[in-house]
Amino acid sequence: MTFSTNQKPTKKKSVFRFDVQKKTRKTLDKLLRNGVDTILVYSVSHPGSSLIVNDSCSNSYPVDSYFFWRKGGLNYVKTVSGQCEGGQLSANDKVTEFILDNFQKMTGEFFMNVIYSAVANGDNLQIKSSMVDHEPKYEIFFQLGDKFKYFRFTDNELTNKESLFYDYNHDLTSYKLFELIKTEIKIFD
In this prediction, residue 57 carries a pLDDT of 60
Q: What is the mean pLDDT of residues 121-146?
A: 84
Query: What is the Cα–Cα distance from 34 to 155, expressed in whole angstroms?
Result: 33
- Interatomic CA distance for residues 20 and 176, integer angstroms: 27
Beta bridge partners of 128: 117
Residue 148 has pLDDT above 60, yes or no: yes
Tens-place pLDDT, residues 84-100? 777 777 777 899 999 99
Indicate the domain borders of the chain.
2-188
Pairing of strands 137-144, 147-154: antiparallel
Tell me: pLDDT of 128 over 90.
no
pLDDT in tens, 43-64: 988 765 555 455 556 555 567 8
The closest alpha carbon to 5, from 151, 174, 173, 149, belongs to 149
| Contact (CB, 8 A) for 41 and 140 | yes
Kindly report the pTM of this predicted structure: 0.80
The three-class DSSP label of residue 62 is coil
Can you spell out the DSSP letters for 71-138? Answer: ETTEEEEEEEETTEE---EE--SHHHHHHHHHHHHHHT--PPPEEEEEEEETTEEEEEEE--SSS-EE
